[in-house]
Structure 1
Amino acid sequence: MPQLIAPTLRVQASFLEAMKELRAEGRGEAGDDSAVGREIREFAAEWDDPVVFSRYTDWLRSMTREEVVRPLGYVPCTNLWYVDGDTYLGRLGLRHELNDFLLELGGHIGYDVRPTARRRGHATAMLRAALPLAHALGIRSALVTCDTTNTASRRVIETCGGIFEDERGGKLRYWVPTRAEHVSDRP
């Protein structure tokens, strides 16, 4: 049964396969300013080394702590991977607060599903599982955004109870209640 877990060396082989899939669709290129895009550019050349990969997963896990020095513009964030056994299916970032950029375009929660695992309900399950975690952080309504052209992500957000606010900078902005009784149980 797939679940959200902290980044781990255990799924390195499957993670590397997933990153190849994402790179094949153009992720990590200069215009990709997503978390996965930035990390592909910064770390991908050395991810196959278990020592480097272990440092990478340690770095991702450390981002939750307030005292950690972060790159400019980063806020405390719980990084989680969605896995089924040792198979990496996707990732989710739960940002503990919003800075100006995140309030405008990025939101509290961002997620990616590897191409070969899409259209199976994983993104919906990931977002649904993250909402109680957001609530535990004191976030009563999570801002979740998607590109205006990303119909699949829009459906995920709406299925999880997202209430459309507006469109800004090519992004649709939704507020998703984090209390369990407000989260839809629809697939």
Structure 2
Amino acid sequence: MRSIELIAPKEEFQEQILQYKKEFEVNGDSMDGTNFLQGYSDLAEWFSLVRDNSKEETVREGLVPADTYLAIRVADQKLLGMINIRHRLNDYLFQVGGHIVYSVRKSERRKGYAKDMLRLSLERCRELNISKVLVTCDKENIASARTIMANNGVLENEVPEEDRITQRYWITL
């Protein structure tokens, strides 16, 4: 039995999504994989964005179609993390963004959830017929690099960008 599941954002998780957002804001963490949640105080607008961005016909300008998922612990239905799977890459995403981006709330880190989230998202990539998945992380983020390598990620190169270095990993499905 799986310890977590990936589900599309639903209104029934609204309070947990707000708590998730607040935990990231309080800790000054980056809300990766949340489809711009940090910019929304009105969750109805955010839910609309998530729906729009999931389809080629309605994706917002400048973005690529992507599916956003909540990582929910099966045992207690707690929101542990969020993950975004991009259906294709534009030039910027090919260089530094990748197909998959995710985050785990600080209070639930170092428990293996990110590894499971990435593994489950790779199953979704197969369903989208993405055979080579690009996953990137900041060179300083050793935990994320380990998560990617645990899912068979192979480091291709490092790309300097402003004040950071992005590591680019490929996972062949």
Distance in 1 of aligned mates of 2:68 and 2:59? 16
Give the equivalent residue in structure 2 for 1:181.
none
**Percent of pairs identical after alignment?**
35
1:39 equivalent among 37, 40, 62: 37
User: AA paired with 1:172?
Assistant: Q
The equivalent residue for 1:61 is 51
Per-residue deviation at 1:24? 1.7
Structure 2 distance, partners of 1:63, 1:140, is 22
What is the CA deviation profile of residues 15-64 of structure 1, one whole-angstrom value per residue up to 9, with x for unaligned ones?
21111111122246xxx8x5549431x203x3xxxxxx244224213312
Q: Secondary structure at the match of 2:22?
A: helix
Partner of 2:140, secondary structure, is coil
The structure with the greater share of residues assigned to helix is 1
Distance 1:134 1:8, change over 3 A: same
Deviation at 1:122, TM superposition (A): 0.7
- On the 8 A contact 1:107/1:142 being kept in 2, the answer is yes
2:169 alignment counterpart? 174
Structure 2 residue aligned with 1:14: 16
Which structure 2 residue ranges, 5 or more long, are not aligned?
Answer: none
Displacement over 6 Å in runs of 4+ = none
Q: How does 1:131-170 map to 2 (within 5 A)?
A: 131-169=122-160, 170=165
Name the CA shift for 1:151/1:165 in 2 (closer, same or farther; >3 Å).
same
CA contact (8 A) 1:162 1:176 kept: yes
Residue of structure 2 aligned with 1:78, choices 42, 67, 73: 67
Cα distance in 1 for residues equivalent to 2:150 and 2:29? 26
Aligned AA (2:166): K
Gaps of 5+ in 1: 47-52, 179-187
Root-mean-square deviation over aligned CA pairs: 1.9
Taking structure 2 as the reference length, the TM-score comes to 0.87
Distance change >3 Å, CA 80–CA 101, structure 1 → 2: same
- Provide the TM-score with structure 1 as the length reference: 0.81
AA of the residue aligned to 1:87: K
Q: Which moves more between the two structures, 62-71 or 149-158?
A: 62-71
**Residues matched between the structures, number:** 165
